[in-house]
Amino acid sequence: MKRSVDEIVASRRMRRNRRFDWSRRLVAESSISANDLIWPIFIIDGENKRESIAAMPDVERLSADLAVEAARMAVDLGIPAIATFPNVDLKLRDNDGSEILNPDNLINRVTRAVKAEVPDIGIITDVALDPFTDHGHDGILQHGEILNDATVETLARAAVLQADAGADIIAPSDMMDGRIGAIRDALDEAGHAQVAIMSYATKYASGFYGPYREAVGTGGLLKGDKKTYYIDPANTDEALRETALDIEEGADMVMVKPGMPYLDIIRRVKDEFEMPTFAYQVSGEYSMIMAGVEKGFFDEERVIMESMLAFKRAGCDGILTYFAPKVAKLLSEQ
């Protein structure tokens, strides 16, 4: 006897595929592997020195020798790249962030040390002035304004110095207009045509950066906010226009930052541009999860892995995350 439409619909069973572990694995649409991870690490002067960061349990600032060890561990875990963020001696910070132009500054010393000892890891360096300025802004401050073009000029010179030291990918996190093109030109002119650019294409004026500012020591310094150069959290189309410009100017990869509050942006960027697309699961996202874990609200492994899948599902090719070594370890134990 022929079944009615109602009967056919009633016999549908979405739960069939969810019945067994093997069938769930078989139909899984997204997955995470160590290959998807970039590990941001905080660096400091000194030797055999590690400092904890109150708001970021299990994350430390490391001196160059320990950063080399961290890079070695990353390679052993199958993590393709690290991204370095310096906590610069306060005495070296000034209005223009001039220490960024010291070829032997903390970032460049660590890059050289890691490249010499761990040649198989990719090194991503942040080119931004905030760890170097005494006001905590990402640009040169004049009469209460962040100067765009003067900042871009400094960033382009700093990028060349970072590439000279051995950086594989330059990642400008400052959001000045025109910086990608200027950095590309400067790198090419200096013979660094092979060095890539990962643009922080959509960086939002977010409250989730708080713990990072403790980590690099800019929190107490920052005067005002970064709303004149980072994107307003209310905007989506603007993020796409910004990303389009960065790609036109020569970005090889694009990033959305922060991550979890902006999964919609990741999806739109990936669909629109089909570029290698990354998310930065920022310090505040890390601290939020760890605070929940410490309070006993979450199962640590579950929520960390779920957050990784969320990024992959949204369209990310990779994720910058302070959880990178934890995730890679969990994956290697599976």
- Residues near ligand PBG (CB under 6 A) are 126, 128, 130, 138, 173-174, 209, 212-213, 218, 226, 282-283
Kindly tell me which of 63 and 125 has the beta carbon lying closer to ligand PBG: 125
| Distance (Å) of CA 261 to CA 88, 266, 284, 317 | 29, 10, 11, 17
For the CB of residue 268, give the shortest distance to ligand PBG in the complex, in Å: 22
Note the helical H segments in 11-85. 21-27, 64-76
Active site residue 203: yes
Residues 6 or more apart in contact with residue 108 via CB below 8 angstroms: 102, 161, 162, 164, 165
Kindly tell me which of 48 and 289 has the beta carbon lying closer to ligand PBG: 289
Give how far the C-alpha of residue 294 lies from the chain's centroid of Cα atoms, to the nearest Å.
24
Determine which one of 2, 91, 226, 257 is catalytic: 257
CA-to-CA distance for 323 and 334, rounded, in angstroms? 17
CA-to-CA distance for 95 and 140, rounded, in angstroms? 6
Please, are residues 203 and 227 in contact by the beta-carbon 8 Å criterion? no
Kindly tell me which of 36 and 138 has the beta carbon lying closer to ligand PBG: 138
Number of residue whose CB is nearest ligand PBG: 212
Token pair for residue 60?
């430390």
Q: Which residues pair with 40 in a beta bridge?
A: 83
CA torsion, ordered 89, 92, 97, 100, to nearest 10 deg: -80
Kindly tell me which of 23 and 95 has the beta carbon lying closer to ligand PBG: 95
Determine which one of 203, 226, 270, 312 is catalytic: 203
Note the helical H segments in the chain. 5-10, 21-27, 64-76, 106-117, 148-165, 179-189, 210-215, 237-249, 263-273, 283-294, 300-314, 324-333
For the CB of residue 15, give the shortest distance to ligand PBG in the complex, in Å: 39
For the CB of residue 10, give the shortest distance to ligand PBG in the complex, in Å: 50
Q: Which residues pair with 256 in a beta bridge?
A: 202, 279
CA-to-CA distance for 159 and 18, rounded, in angstroms? 49
DSSP state at residue 37: E
Kindly tell me which of 16 and 285 has the beta carbon lying closer to ligand PBG: 285
For the CB of residue 283, give the shortest distance to ligand PBG in the complex, in Å: 3
For the CB of residue 106, give the shortest distance to ligand PBG in the complex, in Å: 15
Active-site residue set: 203, 257
